[in-house]
Structure 1
Amino acid sequence: MFVPEYDPAYDPLEHLEQLKVRHVRHTLNGHNAIWVPERRLVISDRNLRSELLHPTLAHECDHAVNDDCAGHHPRNESRANLHSAFRLVDPALWESLTALHTDYDQICLELGITRRQFRAYYDYNKRLAAAQERRERFGNAVYLNPKMGAGQWQRKLEVA
């Protein structure tokens, strides 16, 4: 599966143009934007705030890239949130902002992403970190990330 990478010059409008997908602004009730695969068309809400237009169109671009069917299917929505976050989020800036701030809305504004894209990227990084952690049990103790030698572990948990 193709996983996009961060590009500081990424422009979803240019990406839609490359994919030969038309973009139209129209009044939508209840949605920021929708992907219409039969017409190769993305419709975005004309009342959408300017800071949400860029990440919303990036999300819809992912639907167009994967040629998703119409409707909001959870798997397609999750993938579109994650892949659009990959395109928009600078990993170094992510690390510094999440280390400094606890206000996630402020981080979303700084990064230029939506809350759902933030959540998808956050969950992805959390799963990645958990997969890299290694736990081993010796006797009645569990060692987190053990290495060779006595006392070389990140954490020791006593198990009954």
Structure 2
Amino acid sequence: MFVPEYDPAYDPLEHLDQMKIHHVRHTLNGHNAIWVPERRMVISDRNLRSELLRPTLAHECDHAVNDDCAGHHPRNESRANLHSAFRLIYPPLWDSMTALHSDYDQICLEIGITRRQFRAYYDHHRRLAAARERRERLGDTVYENPKMGAGQWTRKFEVA
């Protein structure tokens, strides 16, 4: 599976044009945008705030890239949130913003992403960190990052 990378010049409207997908602004009730695969069209809400247009269209572009079916399948939505976050978030900026701020809405506004994209990216980083730092308890000892074989661990803790 293709995983996109950050591109400072990424423009979802240009991306839609390259894929020959028509973009229409229309009044939608309850959705920011929708992907209509039968017509190769993305419809975005005309009342959508300007700071949400780019991340919303990036999300819909991912549906188009992966040729998702119509509707909101949770797996497709999760992947589109994560992949659009990969395209929009500059990793060093993410690290500095999350280290400085605890107001996640402020981070979303400054980076230019939606809350769902924030959540997907945050959860992805948390899963990576958890995979790197695995702990296992055997009896009264906890081993950090255990491997197969005697003495193959990063740290060892004695617990009571």
Deviation sequence 1:59-107 (CA, Å, 0-9, x none): 0000000000000110100000000000000111101111111000000
Q: Which residue of 1 aligns with 2:110?
A: 110
For residues 157 and 112 of structure 1, the distance between their equivalents in structure 2, rounded to whole angstroms, comes to: 46
Q: Which moved more, 1:49-58 or 1:137-146?
A: 137-146
Q: Which residue of 2 aligns with 1:46?
A: 46
Which secondary structure does the structure 1 equivalent of 2:24 belong to?
A: strand
Change (3 A) 1:25 1:93: same
Q: How far did 1:141 drift?
A: 1.7
Change (3 A) 1:141 1:56: same
Deviation sequence 1:13-64 (CA, Å, 0-9, x none): 0000011000010010000000000000000000000000000000000000
Listed as ranges, the gaps of 5+ residues in structure 2 are none
Q: Which residue of 2 aligns with 1:9?
A: 9
Q: Which moved more, 1:128-137 or 1:45-54?
A: 128-137
Query: Taking structure 2 as the reference length, what is the TM-score of the superposition?
Result: 0.91
Amino acid at match of 1:16: L
Which secondary structure does the structure 2 equivalent of 1:35 belong to?
A: strand
Instruction: Tell me how large the CA RMSD over aligned residues is.
Output: 2.0
Q: Which residue of 2 aligns with 1:156?
A: 157
Amino acid at match of 1:131: A
Q: How far did 1:134 drift?
A: 3.1
For residues 96 and 105 of structure 1, the distance between their equivalents in structure 2, rounded to whole angstroms, comes to: 15
Change (3 A) 1:18 1:107: same
Q: Which residue of 2 aligns with 1:93?
A: 93
For residues 75 and 134 of structure 2, the distance between their equivalents in structure 1, rounded to whole angstroms, comes to: 29
For residues 101 and 129 of structure 2, the distance between their equivalents in structure 1, rounded to whole angstroms, comes to: 20
Q: How far did 1:12 drift?
A: 0.3
Which secondary structure does the structure 1 equivalent of 2:95 belong to?
A: helix
- Residue correspondence of structure 1 range 50-129 to structure 2 within 5 A: 50-129=50-129
- Is structure 2 residue 5 aligned with structure 1 residue 25? no
Which secondary structure does the structure 2 equivalent of 1:60 belong to?
A: helix
Change (3 A) 1:157 1:76: farther
Q: Give the paired residue count.
A: 156
Listed as ranges, the gaps of 5+ residues in structure 1 are none
Which secondary structure does the structure 2 equivalent of 1:68 belong to?
A: coil
For residues 136 and 79 of structure 1, the distance between their equivalents in structure 2, rounded to whole angstroms, comes to: 30
